[in-house]
Amino acid sequence: MKAAFIIALSVGAASGTQIRSEDSKVATQLDVSDNSFIEALASKYDCREAGTSLEDTIKKVKVKNAQELTKLGVECTKRRTDYNGDWTKAQETYSLEVPKIVPEEEARYTESEKKAQTEFKNVETTQANLVATARTNLANSQADYDSKKAVYDTKFSEHASAAQSAAAQEKEYNEVTRPR
Protein backbone atom coordinates (compact mmCIF):
# COMPACT_ATOMS: atom_id res chain seq x y z
CA MET A 1 0.00 0.00 0.00
CA LYS A 2 2.92 2.31 0.74
CA ALA A 3 4.13 1.91 -2.84
CA ALA A 4 0.71 2.90 -4.17
CA PHE A 5 0.82 6.16 -2.18
CA ILE A 6 4.35 6.89 -3.37
CA ILE A 7 3.20 6.43 -6.94
CA ALA A 8 0.18 8.65 -6.33
CA LEU A 9 2.38 11.40 -4.92
CA SER A 10 4.92 11.14 -7.72
CA VAL A 11 2.34 11.09 -10.50
CA GLY A 12 -0.07 13.63 -9.03
CA ALA A 13 -3.51 13.88 -10.50
CA ALA A 14 -2.69 12.30 -13.84
CA SER A 15 -5.21 9.83 -15.19
CA GLY A 16 -4.49 6.15 -15.79
CA THR A 17 -4.94 6.62 -19.54
CA GLN A 18 -2.40 9.41 -19.62
CA ILE A 19 0.19 7.32 -17.80
CA ARG A 20 -0.39 4.37 -20.11
CA SER A 21 -0.27 6.26 -23.36
CA GLU A 22 3.15 6.35 -24.98
CA ASP A 23 3.01 9.99 -26.13
CA SER A 24 1.86 11.28 -22.73
CA LYS A 25 3.87 13.98 -20.95
CA VAL A 26 3.32 12.24 -17.62
CA ALA A 27 4.63 8.94 -18.97
CA THR A 28 7.74 10.65 -20.25
CA GLN A 29 8.29 12.48 -16.94
CA LEU A 30 8.35 9.21 -14.98
CA ASP A 31 11.47 7.14 -15.18
CA VAL A 32 11.28 3.65 -16.63
CA SER A 33 11.26 1.83 -13.28
CA ASP A 34 8.30 3.89 -11.93
CA ASN A 35 6.36 3.43 -15.15
CA SER A 36 7.00 -0.32 -15.19
CA PHE A 37 6.14 -0.53 -11.48
CA ILE A 38 2.78 1.14 -12.11
CA GLU A 39 2.17 -1.21 -15.02
CA ALA A 40 3.05 -4.21 -12.87
CA LEU A 41 0.66 -3.11 -10.13
CA ALA A 42 -2.12 -2.45 -12.64
CA SER A 43 -1.58 -5.90 -14.15
CA LYS A 44 -1.37 -7.62 -10.76
CA TYR A 45 -4.57 -6.10 -9.43
CA ASP A 46 -6.39 -6.18 -12.77
CA CYS A 47 -7.03 -2.40 -12.83
CA ARG A 48 -6.87 -1.72 -16.56
CA GLU A 49 -9.92 0.38 -17.29
CA ALA A 50 -9.48 3.18 -19.79
CA GLY A 51 -10.55 6.66 -18.73
CA THR A 52 -10.12 6.20 -14.97
CA SER A 53 -7.91 8.47 -12.96
CA LEU A 54 -4.90 7.35 -10.97
CA GLU A 55 -6.90 7.98 -7.81
CA ASP A 56 -9.56 5.54 -9.01
CA THR A 57 -6.85 3.03 -9.86
CA ILE A 58 -5.41 3.30 -6.34
CA LYS A 59 -8.90 2.91 -4.86
CA LYS A 60 -9.44 -0.21 -6.97
CA VAL A 61 -6.06 -1.53 -5.82
CA LYS A 62 -7.14 -0.94 -2.20
CA VAL A 63 -10.45 -2.73 -2.84
CA LYS A 64 -8.68 -5.67 -4.50
CA ASN A 65 -6.17 -5.77 -1.67
CA ALA A 66 -8.97 -5.78 0.94
CA GLN A 67 -10.74 -8.58 -0.96
CA GLU A 68 -7.49 -10.57 -1.10
CA LEU A 69 -6.89 -10.07 2.64
CA THR A 70 -10.45 -11.18 3.40
CA LYS A 71 -10.04 -14.22 1.16
CA LEU A 72 -6.73 -15.10 2.83
CA GLY A 73 -8.27 -14.63 6.29
CA VAL A 74 -11.12 -17.00 5.42
CA GLU A 75 -8.68 -19.53 3.95
CA CYS A 76 -6.43 -19.27 7.01
CA THR A 77 -9.39 -19.79 9.35
CA LYS A 78 -10.54 -22.79 7.29
CA ARG A 79 -7.05 -24.32 7.36
CA ARG A 80 -6.73 -23.73 11.10
CA THR A 81 -10.15 -25.33 11.67
CA ASP A 82 -9.30 -28.28 9.44
CA TYR A 83 -5.94 -28.77 11.11
CA ASN A 84 -7.34 -28.47 14.63
CA GLY A 85 -10.20 -30.82 13.75
CA ASP A 86 -7.81 -33.43 12.37
CA TRP A 87 -5.52 -32.98 15.35
CA THR A 88 -8.36 -33.39 17.85
CA LYS A 89 -9.61 -36.46 15.98
CA ALA A 90 -6.10 -37.94 15.95
CA GLN A 91 -5.75 -37.36 19.70
CA GLU A 92 -9.09 -39.05 20.38
CA THR A 93 -8.19 -41.95 18.12
CA TYR A 94 -4.81 -42.26 19.83
CA SER A 95 -6.35 -42.31 23.31
CA LEU A 96 -8.91 -44.91 22.23
CA GLU A 97 -6.66 -47.16 20.12
CA VAL A 98 -3.41 -47.19 22.10
CA PRO A 99 -4.92 -49.07 25.07
CA LYS A 100 -6.05 -51.72 22.56
CA ILE A 101 -2.70 -51.95 20.81
CA VAL A 102 -0.37 -51.99 23.84
CA PRO A 103 -1.58 -55.36 25.26
CA GLU A 104 -1.43 -56.93 21.79
CA GLU A 105 2.11 -55.67 21.27
CA GLU A 106 3.16 -56.79 24.76
CA ALA A 107 1.70 -60.26 24.13
CA ARG A 108 3.48 -60.45 20.76
CA TYR A 109 6.73 -59.35 22.39
CA THR A 110 6.37 -61.85 25.24
CA GLU A 111 5.69 -64.66 22.76
CA SER A 112 8.71 -63.67 20.66
CA GLU A 113 10.86 -63.48 23.77
CA LYS A 114 9.77 -66.97 24.88
CA LYS A 115 10.54 -68.38 21.43
CA ALA A 116 13.94 -66.70 21.46
CA GLN A 117 14.71 -68.05 24.94
CA THR A 118 13.68 -71.57 23.87
CA GLU A 119 15.83 -71.39 20.75
CA PHE A 120 18.73 -70.03 22.77
CA LYS A 121 18.45 -72.86 25.31
CA ASN A 122 18.28 -75.42 22.49
CA VAL A 123 21.41 -73.99 20.89
CA GLU A 124 23.14 -73.75 24.26
CA THR A 125 22.29 -77.40 25.06
CA THR A 126 23.44 -78.57 21.63
CA GLN A 127 26.67 -76.64 22.03
CA ALA A 128 27.24 -78.06 25.53
CA ASN A 129 26.68 -81.60 24.17
CA LEU A 130 29.11 -80.97 21.32
CA VAL A 131 31.72 -79.63 23.74
CA ALA A 132 31.26 -82.62 26.05
CA THR A 133 31.60 -85.02 23.09
CA ALA A 134 34.70 -83.17 21.88
CA ARG A 135 36.26 -83.30 25.36
CA THR A 136 35.51 -87.04 25.61
CA ASN A 137 37.06 -87.60 22.17
CA LEU A 138 40.07 -85.52 23.20
CA ALA A 139 40.50 -87.47 26.43
CA ASN A 140 40.21 -90.81 24.57
CA SER A 141 42.61 -89.66 21.87
CA GLN A 142 45.08 -88.39 24.47
CA ALA A 143 44.91 -91.69 26.36
CA ASP A 144 45.40 -93.63 23.10
CA TYR A 145 48.32 -91.36 22.19
CA ASP A 146 49.90 -91.74 25.61
CA SER A 147 49.66 -95.57 25.50
CA LYS A 148 51.06 -95.73 21.96
CA LYS A 149 53.81 -93.27 22.86
CA ALA A 150 54.74 -95.42 25.85
CA VAL A 151 54.97 -98.46 23.55
CA TYR A 152 57.01 -96.44 21.05
CA ASP A 153 59.32 -95.12 23.74
CA THR A 154 59.85 -98.67 25.04
CA LYS A 155 60.57 -100.03 21.57
CA PHE A 156 62.80 -97.05 20.74
CA SER A 157 64.71 -97.56 23.94
CA GLU A 158 65.06 -101.27 23.17
CA HIS A 159 66.25 -100.43 19.66
CA ALA A 160 68.74 -97.85 20.94
CA SER A 161 69.95 -100.34 23.49
CA ALA A 162 70.23 -103.06 20.83
CA ALA A 163 72.10 -100.71 18.52
CA GLN A 164 74.48 -99.75 21.32
CA SER A 165 74.96 -103.39 22.22
CA ALA A 166 75.58 -104.29 18.57
CA ALA A 167 78.12 -101.49 18.28
CA ALA A 168 79.86 -102.67 21.43
CA GLN A 169 79.91 -106.26 20.17
CA GLU A 170 81.20 -105.17 16.78
CA LYS A 171 83.91 -103.15 18.46
CA GLU A 172 84.86 -106.11 20.60
CA TYR A 173 84.88 -108.36 17.56
CA ASN A 174 87.06 -105.96 15.58
CA GLU A 175 89.41 -105.20 18.43
CA VAL A 176 89.54 -108.46 20.37
CA THR A 177 88.22 -111.46 18.48
CA ARG A 178 89.49 -110.79 15.02
CA PRO A 179 93.05 -109.95 15.80
CA ARG A 180 93.49 -113.28 17.62
Q: Where are the domains of the chain?
A: 2-69
- Residues 36, 28 contacting (CB under 8 angstroms): no
- Which pLDDT tens digit goes with each residue over 116-156? 999 999 999 999 999 999 999 999 999 999 999 999 999 99
Which amino acid is present at 74? Answer: V
Residues 6+ apart with CB under 8 A from 10: 30, 34
Q: Read out DSSP for 40-64?
A: HHHHHTT---TT-BHHHHHHHHHHH
Can you give the pTM of this predicted structure? 0.36
Among candidate residues 41, 33, 69, 35, the one with its CA nearest the CA of residue 57: 41
- Which pLDDT tens digit goes with each residue over 9-44? 455 444 444 544 544 444 446 676 776 777 777 676
pLDDT at position 50, please? 42
- Report helix, strand or coil for 31: coil
Residues 6+ apart with CB under 8 A from 41: 3, 4, 7, 47, 61
